[in-house]
Amino acid sequence: MKKPFVTKAQVEDIVKNYPTPFHIYDEKGIIENAKAVYDAFSWNKGFKEYFAVKATPNPVLMQILKAQGCGFDCSSLTELMLSEAVDAKGSDIMFSSNDTPAEEFVYADKLGAIINLDDFTHIDFLEKTLGKIPETISCRYNPGGVFQMSNGIMDNPGDSKYGMTKDQIIEAYKILKDKGAKKFGIHAFLASNTVTNEYYPLLAGQLFELAVEIKEKTGVALSFINLSGGVGIPYKPDQEGNDIYAIGKGVKEQFEKILVPAGMGDTSIFTEMGRFMMAPYGALVTKAIHEKHIYKEYIGVDACAVNLMRPAMYGAYHHITVLGKENAPLDHVYDVTGSLCENNDKFAIERALPEIEKGDYLFIHDTGAHGYSMGYNYNGKLKSAELLLKEDGSVQLIRRAETPRDYFSTLDCLGVMEKLYKIMDGGK
């Protein structure tokens, strides 16, 4: 069973200052996991984890990861700004974007970030935008076809909008070398949220073999190989999670088998994990406020899909613990719903849970990545606060909850703002 990292008593104390709903993160778990990742890849001298900022774009959490040696994988202007704000510099930032506006390439170059080109045509676009090709450059690879593992988990890179074909990427390195680039990398992402120790070693084997071929055909010896993300977590309690040490060992075996004999044993390995780094160490805490008895049994909570979009967006499973009833029998079946005017605003459908009473606190697991960050304001709903459960047991506010004033702030181009301010101020 999944175990919450806060108790009912802790939540009852927290809500005295920060009412539900809120996202809360476990500092101790984040640090221990980051240390394990670096330990698992310590055999590679240049290893670096570039945390995927899109997963959890909060500067306090980014600082925690930075203190453990992590850099940042950015894909937008604001993510670059967040990285700059936490004093990430130069090669601590990997800029992996697609359909990229010129101004974002300019900003990434200003920061000295490693630019990872998504498309062959971006070579010319980048050169015209910057007036040069950076000395350090990376290219994203898409092998096409279907990527399948022995346990049946698969994805379809050939249907993905990302990356270059094999012929394109080999030609790209030739051109980039001729244009003055001196240090090169490669990047690929083939499958999402894999719960198997097999994924990274399989991907690594493909990229290592391609790296050898690139060296033979272009004279470019890749300085780094970026395995990107895709290492998942067990959202369901009966799933077995990934073993980062087994994954690191599997990548090492491929490294020694393919790269070392080719004279490429000094190649650095990079990763860009978001979900694996953060998801298990965040939760959405919400309170049961209504119950409904019609054709099904419903529990209405004070959170909604604005706070956690994944279940509504694509039916993702998030385990739910009713705090204080961890050992109670799962003898009731509920749909757990939010208040949006959309029928897919459900955190659980026909889920076996303990009997839930109004006032109970529900701990929705594994929201530390792609949880708060995917929020939106449909129905005029406001985003929740984010809290950090610190190692010493104290709780820190790391993002306040939105207010109506925040929601209306972009209407400052209209005369209606004065009326809204009066309404928010009680009509005064």
pLDDT digits (tens), the chain, 428 positions: 899 999 999 999 999 999 999 999 999 999 999 999 999 999 999 999 999 999 999 999 999 999 999 999 999 999 999 999 999 999 999 999 999 999 999 999 999 999 999 999 999 999 999 999 999 999 999 988 777 766 665 667 777 788 999 999 999 999 999 999 999 999 998 888 999 999 999 999 999 999 999 999 999 999 999 999 999 999 999 999 999 999 999 999 999 999 999 999 999 999 999 999 999 999 999 999 999 999 999 999 999 999 999 999 999 999 999 999 999 999 999 999 999 999 999 999 999 999 999 999 999 999 999 999 999 999 999 999 999 999 999 999 999 999 999 999 998 888 787 888 888 888 65
DSSP state of 46: T
* Same domain, residue pair 206 and 354: no
At residue 197, the pLDDT reads 95
Sign of the dihedral defined by the CA atoms of residues 312, 313, 317, 320, in that order: negative
Residue 21 to residues 145, 286, 372, Cα–Cα distance (Å): 43, 5, 11
150 with 219, same domain: the answer is yes
From first CA to last CA, the distance across the chain in angstroms is 53
Query: How far, in Å, CA of 285 to CA of 274, rounded?
Result: 21
Flag whether 132 is in a domain: yes
State the sign of the Cα–Cα–Cα–Cα dihedral 124, 128, 134, 139.
Answer: negative
Pair type for strands 361-364 and 320-322: antiparallel
Burial class (CB in 10 A: 0-12, 13-18, 19+), 365: buried
Judge if 297 and 272 occupy the same domain.
no
Q: How many CB atoms lie within 10 A of CB 246?
A: 15
Q: Tell me how far apart the alpha carbons of residues 56 and 395 are, in angstroms, rounded to a whole number.
A: 18
CA distance 227 to 248: 12
- Record the pTM: 0.94
Same domain, 110 and 214: yes
Q: Is residue 253 part of a domain?
A: yes
Select from 47, 113, 55, 104 the least CA-distant residue to 84: 113
Number of domains in the chain: 2
398 and 258 housed in the same domain: no
Q: Does residue 419 lie within any of the structural domains?
A: no
Q: Which one of the listed residues 70, 74, 304, 341 is annotated catalytic?
A: 341
Task: Give a yes or no: residue 427 inside a domain.
Answer: no
145-172 in b/e form (b: 16+ CB < 10 A) is eebebeeebebebeeeebbbeeebbbbb
Residue 341 among the catalytic residues:
yes
In a domain, 421, yes or no: no
Residue 397: CATH number of its domain: 2.40.37.10
Q: Is the peptide bond before 143 cis (omega within 30 degrees of 0)?
A: no
> Would you state the pLDDT for residue 151?
61
Tell me which of 264, 279, 294 is where a domain ends. Answer: 279
DSSP label at 131? S
Please report, for residues 75, 199, 230, the alpha-carbon distance to residue 194 in angstroms, rounded to integers and kept in the order given.
22, 7, 6
| Within a domain: 168 | yes
pLDDT the model gives residue 155: 67
Whether residue 373 is contained in a domain is answered as yes
Residue 425, pLDDT score:
82
pLDDT at residue number 319: 98
Amino acid 419: pLDDT: 84
Q: Supply the pLDDT for residue 426.
A: 80
Helix axes of 166-178 and 199-218: crossing angle, nearest 10 degrees:
50
Residues 179 and 140 both lie in one domain: yes
CB-CB neighbours of 188 under 10 Å: 25
CA distance 144 to 153: 16
Q: Which helix (H) or strand (E) holds 407?
A: helix 404-408
- Which amino acid belongs to residue 251? V
Domain match, 275 and 325 both: no
Return the pLDDT at 32.
98
Pair 366, 316: CB distance under 8 Å: no
Residues 67 and 163 occupy one common structural domain: yes
Which residue intervals of 95-155 are DSSP H helices?
102-111, 122-130
Residue 143 and residue 236 share a domain: yes
* C-alpha to C-alpha distance for 63 and 130, rounded to whole angstroms: 30
Domain at 122, CATH number: 3.20.20.10
Q: Do 299 and 212 sit in the same domain of this protein?
A: no
How many other C-beta atoms can be found within 10 angstroms of the C-beta atom of residue 48? Answer: 20
Longest dimension (CA), the chain: 77
Cα→Cα distances 186→60, 101, 152, 173, Å: 30, 21, 26, 10
Helix (H, G, I), strand (E, B) or coil at 149: coil
Domain that holds residue 123: 27-279
> Is 417 contained in some domain?
no
With beta carbons less than 8 A apart as the criterion, state whether 274 and 370 touch: yes
Say yes or no: 261 and 323 in one domain. Answer: no
- Closest to 316 measured CA to CA, from 278, 281, 382, 365: 365
Q: What is the pLDDT of residue 276?
A: 97
CA–CA dist 80, 163 (Å, integer)? 21
Residues 321 and 250 in one domain: no
